[in-house]
Amino acid sequence: MAEKAERTEAETEKGMTIFLDVFRRADKNDDGFISWEEFVSYFADGVMGKEELQTLFDEIDSHNTNNIDTNELCTYFSQHLGEFKEIFSLLEEMNKKMTNVLYGTAKVYQESNRTDKFVKRFLMREILNQMSALQRPVEAASDTLDTQAREERADIKPLELEDIIKKSPTGNIVPGRVVRRAKRQISGISTGSEAFECYELNTEGSGIVNTQIDRLAQLIDRLENKVNLDGFRDEEVVAGEDDLVLLVQREFAVKEDSVDEFQGFLRAYVDLTQGFKGCLNASVRKLLDSHCFTIYEIWSNEEKYVQNCDSEATRTLVQKTAELLEKPETVHSMKIPGSWWKREI
């Protein structure tokens, strides 16, 4: 058994700490290594073929252990960052400053007058607008590069999601979607409201908010990929077959002393469900000063939702959290027009 070669943030050069978070998210079973199955689950992008990914895996695995540790991952990408290194350094610095601002705002917000509260809310919205403006050209360039890569080697068959599931020896590793946009949704998120909640739970301000800027990018994804009621009409005539999606609401009332343990299981469930074929989105809401969690899931159709109900992710959540709840989980669902679901293809 290979020894873990762990690298802490203090030991990582500027611009590289984000890859520690990449490692944590790719290491699904938290054993300190990225296996081949976990590597494919996280890094497959719908462009690279199996042989290409295997070659990349072997190149990163410089110790030839058939597993990748943090040092190997950071070392490989540090040699390939090029002009992106400065960008990653700025992102790290920005995330630290953003965390400090959110905690600082949480300390004084409740005691501020209404004008000051308005200003703080306006400034936060403007930060989101600016971040969104930065995201669009990066996303467009990323999609263009993906398209070019597919066209230049049309003979290469990208590694398919179904192939990974069939060939997974344990069956308990469910890969994420093989496009970058979905991976941003899989990533855990520290939003402004959660930072306020973190401050309430921990007034000493310890490092609860994860120090990775792509978690803020995910917030933008969630805001853009939401149910769109802006164009709602009292009466609408639809020509042809109606395009419906399924909205599912799952509510959990958690025992006070079991919240942390429940959140761990919940986070794992959302990570896996986001990668389940047919899941358009899965997000969690928690009311401040309560122990109630609500999962909102949007599915392309009811069949995919039913399949997910029998998945390993769902069974694990139900079985592991049964004793952590004050009362049984409640589930509500309804079908809504697909045109209300705003998403980018």
- The percentage of residues in the chain with a pLDDT greater than 70, rounded to a whole number, is 70
Tell me the per-residue pLDDT of 249-267, one tens digit each, with 9 for 90 and over.
Answer: 999 999 988 888 888 888 8
- Give me the pLDDT at residue 183, please: 41
Helix (H, G, I), strand (E, B) or coil at 48: coil
Q: What pLDDT was estimated at residue 181?
A: 35
Cα–Cα dist 228/235, whole Å: 16
- The two three-digit tokens of residue 85, written as one number: 């290194």
pLDDT at res. 172: 44
Which two structure tokens, joined as six digits, stand for 310?
């029998």
Q: Using CA atoms, how far apart are residues 144 and 150, in angstroms rounded to an integer?
A: 10
Find the helix packing angle between 18-26 and 84-108, rounded to 10°: 90
pLDDT at residue 204 above 50?
Answer: no
Sheet holding 330-337, edge to edge: 279-286, 292-299, 244-253, 330-337
**What mean pLDDT do residues 107-122 have?**
91
Residues 127-155: pLDDT tens digits?
888 888 888 888 888 888 888 888 888 88
Query: In the prediction, which pLDDT does 41 show?
Result: 84
pLDDT for 253 = 92
What band does 203 get if pLDDT is binned at 50, 70 and 90? very low
Handedness of CA 181, 187, 188, 190 (dihedral sign): negative
56 pLDDT above the threshold of 90? yes
Average pLDDT over residues 109-133: 90
Provide the pLDDT for residue 45.
82
| Mean pLDDT to the nearest integer, 89-112 | 87
Q: Is the pLDDT of residue 60 over 90?
A: yes
Instruction: Confirm whether pTM is higher than 0.75.
Output: no
Helix (H/G/I), strand (E/B), else coil: 258 = helix
DSSP letter at 34 equals: B
Q: At what angle do helices 312-321 and 259-274 cross, to 10 degrees?
A: 170
At 158-180, the pLDDT tens digits run 876 556 554 444 444 333 333 33
Look at residue 205 and tell me whether its pLDDT is greater than 50.
no
Question: Is the model's pLDDT at 280 over the cut of 80?
Answer: yes
Q: Comparing 2 with 56, which gets the higher pLDDT?
A: 56
Q: How far apart are CA 47 and CA 143, in angstroms?
A: 11
Largest CA distance in the chain: 65
pLDDT in tens, 311-322: 888 888 898 888
pLDDT value of residue 55: 92
Q: In this predicted structure, what is the pLDDT of residue 191?
A: 42
pLDDT of amino acid 6: 56
Distance CA 277, CA 308 (A): 9
C-alpha closest to that of 22 among 87, 76, 83, 101:
76
In whole angstroms, what is the distance from residue 184 CA to residue 186 CA? 6
Give me 152's structure tokens.
């230049």
pLDDT digits 0-9 by tens, 15-54: 678 888 888 888 888 888 898 888 888 888 888 888 898 9
What tokens were used for 341?
Answer: 């679901």
- Residue 213, pLDDT > 70, answer no
Beta bridge partners of 333: 248
Neighbours of 112 (CB within 10 A): 13
The more confidently predicted of residues 175 and 290 is 290
Q: H helices within the chain, ranges in order?
A: 18-26, 36-43, 50-60, 70-78, 84-108, 114-152, 161-167, 180-186, 192-201, 214-224, 259-274, 302-309, 312-321
The single residue listed with the structure tokens 């263009």 is 144
